[in-house]
């Protein structure tokens, strides 16, 4: 069975494909796993660029990390458990 020649540019990753290659040397795409009929055109990742607010993205991603609150009750519980464990060890 004769397969069509590989595209010059991989439509999956955009790398150059050697002329007689059976698959893309970079990402492994081939006729069975990803090359389409219109494989001659590489147009990127088709990410939506409409409605993208860069300032909102930066504010959301780079905000300072929020530390969880350590309540006094948890500290007291931890200390009591540690003391109970030490008392159990020392009573042997």
Which CA distances in Å does 39 have to 6, 7, 31?
Answer: 9, 6, 10
Mean pLDDT throughout 76-84? Answer: 96
Q: Burial, 34: exposed, middle or buried (Cβ in 10 Å; 0-12, 13-18, 19+)?
A: middle
Taking only the tens place, the pLDDT of each residue in 4-34 is: 777 888 888 888 888 888 888 888 888 777 7
Percent of the chain clearing pLDDT 70 (strictly above): 79
What integer pLDDT is reported at residue 52 of this predicted model?
78
Task: Using pLDDT thresholds of 50, 70 and 90, give the confidence band for residue 88.
Answer: very high
pTM: 0.36
Place of tokens 């060890």: 89
């Amino acid at each position: 069975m004769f397969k069509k020649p590989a595209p010059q540019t991989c439509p999956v990753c955009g790398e150059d494909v050697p002329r007689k290659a059976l698959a893309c040397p970079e990402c492994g795409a081939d006729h069975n796993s990803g090359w389409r009929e219109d494989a001659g055109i590489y147009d990127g990742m088709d990410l939506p660029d409409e409605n993208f607010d860069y300032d909102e993205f930066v504010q959301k991603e780079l905000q300072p990390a929020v530390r969880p609150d350590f309540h006094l009750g948890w500290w007291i519980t931890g200390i009591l458990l540690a003391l109970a464990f030490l008392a159990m060890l020392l009573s042997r």
